[in-house]
Amino acid sequence: DWNSGSVIEEQIARIREQVGSARVISALSGGVDSAVSTALVHRAIGDQLTAVFVDHGLLRKGEREQVENDYVESTGVNLITVEAEETFLGHLAGVTDPETKRKIIGREFIRAFEQVQRDLVDQAKADGEPVKFLVQGTLYPDVVESGGGAGTANIKSHHNVGGLPEDLDFELIEPLRTLFKDEVRQIGRDLGIPEAIVGRQPFPGPGLGIRIIGEVTRERLEILREADAIAREELTAAGLDKEIWQCPVVLLADVRSVGVQGDGRTYGHPVVLRPVSSEDAMTADWTRLPYETLAKISNRITNEVREINRVTLDVTSKPPATIEWE
Ligand code: XMP
């Protein structure tokens, strides 16, 4: 049976052995998985680790601040933030295919890290230690769904597994590769990471980029970011965080629907609420949210986000639908 303390001890020993005295970079995404894998590696090797947070412009509201302030305070990790919004949005311009989006985002992530690696190598010349390793928060379900498990098909290429470029210049450290989400959360708590981060909804590596159906633009991201923040706020206020696994808000950016507001006809965009209940994201059921909560979210989004004039609810389980729309 499963014991968080012994997994931590085992991983710390394994990481120390794998790394030696080399330097390590960690991919911090703001999500639970990378937060825990980074804290675990930090526990093992301390300041040999540099955590890198890429602000790719696809983040949720307040996410960067939470990482830069709360996470750093609780773990003591060395953090570098890379400003990469321009680069990411530039590469995503005109792209609508979901797999292509994922591959671009995955590739740019790695490029951002390699840039940091070069910078760190320059700084580290004095002590002569190479920067050889990259930490990834890959979980067991990611491995299985990307075809890493025995005899499974590639369902979606998760950016932290399938989307890696061929010329990858790092060795990977993936301390969560055999674990499920609830186990990872427990490890995070035992490592002292605040509940606000450990208890967070899962958020995909490609971020809001795969929750905009259609081309990803700065304007669309701003619209979705506001709607997403409202939905999260109301779900928390209603005390539903424990009940739902996650609730993606999806912007149907290429769809317009007619509405009426004041004396005027509007021609805005619909969003989809996708609340799901799940144990491990491999299967999921749609959460029967209280009508009161749905009404409140719908009213607030349509009142506060000018471009959205319709809120819809996704009532499909997984399978046949996946949790994310792309
Ligand atoms: P799906 O949509 O495949 O999602 O049912 C299952 C879980 O994985 C998350 N997800 C991702 N996580 N990179 C990630 O790190 C990705 O590319 C990715 N795509 C989906 C999703 O939010 C859900 O929790």
pLDDT of 161 reads 42
Whether the CB of 4 sits within 6 Å of ligand 1: no
**CA gap 225, 251 in Å, rounded:** 10
159 pLDDT tier (thresholds 50, 70, 90)? very low
Nearest CA residue ID for atom 10, ligand 1: 204
Atom index in ligand 1 nearest the CA of residue 102 equals 17
1 annotated as a binding-site residue: no
147 annotated as a binding-site residue: no
Closest CA to 32 of 186, 221, 173, 140: 186
pTM for the full predicted model: 0.84
205 annotated as a binding-site residue: no
- Pocket test residue of 324, 325, 326 for ligand 1, highest count of atoms within 8 A of CB: 324
Q: SS3 for 285?
A: strand
C-alpha 137 to ligand 1 mean position (Å)? 12
**CA gap 267, 258 in Å, rounded:** 5
18 pLDDT tier (thresholds 50, 70, 90)? very high
29 annotated as a binding-site residue: yes
Atom index in ligand 1 nearest the CA of residue 157 equals 17
Nearest CA residue ID for atom 20, ligand 1: 204
Whether the CB of 188 sits within 6 Å of ligand 1: no
pLDDT in tens, 55-97: 999 999 999 999 999 999 999 999 999 999 999 999 999 999 9
Q: Is the pLDDT of residue 169 over 80?
A: no
Whether the CB of 30 sits within 6 Å of ligand 1: no
pLDDT in tens, 85-96: 999 999 999 999
Whether the CB of 200 sits within 6 Å of ligand 1: no
31 annotated as a binding-site residue: yes
Closest CA to 89 of 71, 97, 101: 101
C-alpha 322 to ligand 1 mean position (Å)? 9
pLDDT in tens, 216-248: 999 999 999 999 999 999 999 999 998 999 999
Whether the CB of 160 sits within 6 Å of ligand 1: yes
Whether the CB of 314 sits within 6 Å of ligand 1: no
21 pLDDT tier (thresholds 50, 70, 90)? very high
ipTM higher than threshold 0.90: yes
Domains along the chain with CATH numbers? 4-198 (3.40.50.620), 211-313 (3.30.300.10)
- In sequence order, the 6+-apart residues with CB closer than 8 A to the CB of 276 are 244, 245, 246, 247, 284, 285, 286, 287, 318, 323
**CA gap 77, 65 in Å, rounded:** 15
> What percent of the chain is predicted at pLDDT more than 70?
91
6 annotated as a binding-site residue: no
Average pLDDT rounded to a whole number, residues 275-291: 95
**CA gap 18, 303 in Å, rounded:** 54
Atom index in ligand 1 nearest the CA of residue 246 equals 24
pLDDT in tens, 181-227: 889 999 999 999 988 889 888 888 899 999 999 999 999 999 999 99
Average pLDDT of every residue of the chain: 90
